[in-house]
Amino acid sequence: MNLGNIGFSDVILWVLEALLTFAVSTFIFDSVHWMLHRWTKSRFRVLRVFASWHHVHHRFLDGKMQVHTDLAALNFWAHLVPEFLTSAAGTAVFYLFFHWIPVTAVMALHVWNFGMNIYTEGMDGNHMSMDRVSARQNIVKVNAAYHAMHHITPENYYSSYLNLFDLLFGRSTTIRHRRFLITGASGAFGSAIAARIEALGGVVETAKHGADFAPGDVERIRPRLEKADVLVLAHGAKGPAAWDANYVTFTELSDLFIAIGRDRLVPPEIWAVGSEAELHGDLGQPELKEYAASKRAFARRAVGYYRSADVLYRHIVPSAFTSAMGPGPMSADTAAGIALFFIRRGFRYVPVTLTTLALWNYVRFVRQRPAAQGSGAPVAIDSGAGR
C-alpha cells in the first residue's frame, strides 16, 4: 500500500487490528503465565525449570507485597526477558494476517514496556512494595491492586494488561482456603451459596441472628469477623422485621467488618444480597412496603462500600427464587450458581436474573449518591430467611 493514499477507513481498520493484536498477544502471554504455574509439578524436568524461573519473580515481589531488590538481576533474566520474548512472539504472529503498521505499533509498545522494566529494574507500577492493597480493582484493565492479588494468591489473577484470561476462565477471585462467614445460611440462598463455596474449597462458618448478632448488638460476633476473609450477608425478612434485617444489621455488620480489616494487607470482602425491589419498589403491594424501603436504603448505603478502597464490596441482585418466602422462576441453588459465576470473574455488581430488572438496576445503583454513615430509621429485630 502506498502510504500517501491512506484513507480514513484504512486508519480505522489499522486501529482495530492493533487492538486485536494487543488483546490476543496479551491473552497468549497470560495463557503461558498460567501454564508456568501448572508446570511447577510437571513430570517433565524442562517444564519444571521454566516454572522455577517464574518462581523467581514471586520471590522478587513476595506474597506480603515486599520487593526484594537483591533479586532484581535474577528477576530480569528469569522473568522480564522471557516475558518480553513471549509477548513479542505472540505479536509477531500477526504479521502473517494484518498490515505491518498496526502490528509494529503493538510491538513497539512491548519494546517500550520492556525498556521501562529495565529502567525501573522490574519495579514498575504493578510491582512495588505495598503495605495495603486497594480494593479498587479494575475488571477490564489490570491495575496494581489487581496484579497484587496474584502475588498474594498465585493460583488466580493471571491477567497481565487486559483482563481477558481471568474473565474467560473465572480466575478473578480466590475462594479455595479463604474463610467465609455467612449470615442467613439457614435460608434458601444462604444455604445454597454456602454449599457451593465449600465445594470450591472455601472454609465456611455460619452466623444466625439472635444467637450471634442482633440490631445494635453486633460486637459479640467480632471474634468471628476477625477470622473471616469474606462476609456474606444473606439473611433478611419481609414485613415489620424488614428494616432491622435488611438495613440495620447489614450496615452494622459491614461497618464493623471494614473497621476490623482496616490494617490488613488485603482489604476485607463483603458479598451482600440485594433485591430487584431496589428498582421497582413495592409494586403497590402493602406487604412489600417495608421490604422495599429497607432494600433501597441499604443500596444507598452500599454505594459507599462499592466505591471504597477499604472493602471489596459485591452487591448481589437476584430475581425472585424459590424459598420459604414463596415460589420463584429459579431455584436458590441456580441463583447461587449464577452469582458465583460472575463473582469468580471479578464482578462487584452481580446480576442474578432471568429478567432485565437486575441489569437496569445497575445504572440506578452506581449513579445514586451514597447515604451517610449512621443515617436511617431506629433499630428493632430481624428474621433469618434470606431472599
Identify any residues that bridge with 206 across adjacent strands, giving them in sequence order: 182
85 vs 78: CA distance, rounded Å = 12
- Residue 213 is given by DSSP the state B
Sheet holding 269-273, edge to edge: 203-207, 179-183, 230-233, 269-273, 312-318, 349-352
194 vs 271: CA distance, rounded Å = 12
296 class by beta-carbon count within 10 Å (0-12 exposed, 13-18 middle, 19+ buried): buried
Of residues 121 and 2, which shows the higher confidence score? 121
Tell which residue, 197, 163, 191, has the closest CA to residue 179.
Answer: 197
For residue 170, what is its C-alpha cell? 473465572
Terminal C-alpha separation, the chain = 62
Q: Give yes or no for residue 380 having a pLDDT over 70.
A: no
- Give 344-363 pLDDT, tens digit per residue: 999 999 999 867 777 788 88
81 class by beta-carbon count within 10 Å (0-12 exposed, 13-18 middle, 19+ buried): middle
**Which residues, at least 6 apart from 182, have a Cβ–Cβ distance to it below 8 Å?**
190, 193, 194, 197, 204, 205, 206, 207, 232, 234
Q: Is 206 helix (H, G, I), strand (E, B) or coil?
A: strand
Instruction: Work out the average pLDDT over 278-296.
Output: 80
- Give 161-207 pLDDT, tens digit per residue: 999 999 999 999 999 999 999 999 998 999 999 999 999 999 999 99
Instruction: Work out the average pLDDT over 219-244.
Output: 94
229 vs 373: CA distance, rounded Å = 23
Amino acid at site 259: A
Contact indicator for 258, 305 with CB cutoff of 8 Å: yes
**Which residues, at least 6 apart from 126, have a Cβ–Cβ distance to it below 8 Å?**
142, 143, 144, 147, 148
Give the model's pLDDT for residue 325. 67
Tell which residue, 194, 175, 174, has the closest CA to residue 184.
Answer: 194
What DSSP element (H or E) covers 207?
strand 203-207
298 vs 254: CA distance, rounded Å = 11
352 vs 339: CA distance, rounded Å = 6
| Alpha helix ranges (H) inside 261-320 | 277-280, 289-307
182 vs 324: CA distance, rounded Å = 18
- Average pLDDT of the chain, as a whole number: 90
249 vs 229: CA distance, rounded Å = 19
Whole-model pTM?
0.89
30 vs 149: CA distance, rounded Å = 15
Q: Give yes or no for residue 374 having a pLDDT over 60.
A: no
Q: Give yes or no for residue 221 having a pLDDT over 50.
A: yes
Contact indicator for 236, 185 with CB cutoff of 8 Å: no
